[in-house]
Amino acid sequence: MPASPPRIPLLQDLYADYLRGEKASTFLARVKQCYDQAAIERLAVMSNRYGRRAANFALVSMASYTANPIVGAALADTDRQVREIARQGIAKLWRQTGDSLNQVALEKIIDLNREARYAQAALNATDLLEIAPALAEVWNQRSLAHHRLKLYTDAIRDGRRAMEFNPFHFECLIRMGRCHEQLDDAISALDYFRQALIVHPDLAGVRAKVHYLQRSLSD
């Protein structure tokens, strides 16, 4: 008797419906009816590439920071589409840290940086870090503000704290590399750019920068 074909997880069917035009909100509601987050995380690790795509999309749609280790690891998945799903959605997870009041305060800091109000963003971040020092994205946002203010040493210091709490923050690694470039420290810049590529290999501009710095340092 021929063997039965492998059973395709329902999550893949739900994701296929989304790709055919179903609303993201409908996809997420159907997923939550059938799976808890732990089950989706298992599929994100153990499935074939189609299952990993579906699972990681579900995780970034659910936007829970507790999924960061799974989605962060997917940034270096062997499948390019899995990596892209993780890249596009992981920043949403990074903002979902702390309680609801902290999240509101963080969103205000993010908005201030987007509006180029960097000094105020840094001040707000400092206030929030006094009561919630373990929030990686707050450290990252203050690092961003300091970088824009050309306070490169401060930006690097804050970036290191952000990486202590979130080792998948490739944007933070890139920024620290750029800060070291501004400080004429090409060796440290190269190291941070290499670290960023380990976290997420699809950073073409960073890869080009690594090649440039390698050539410059070898001359």
CATH of domain 100-218: 1.25.40.10
**Could you say which architecture CATH assigns to the domain 10-94?**
Alpha Horseshoe (1.25)
Q: What does the domain layout of the chain look like in residue ranges?
A: 10-94, 100-218
Give the distance, in angstroms, between the CA of residue 164 and the centroid of all CA atoms in the same chain: 14
- Average pLDDT of the chain is 95
pLDDT in tens, 84-115: 999 999 999 999 988 999 999 999 999 999 99
CA 52 vs CA 56, 171, 211: distances in Å: 6, 23, 31
- Percent of the chain surpassing pLDDT 90: 91
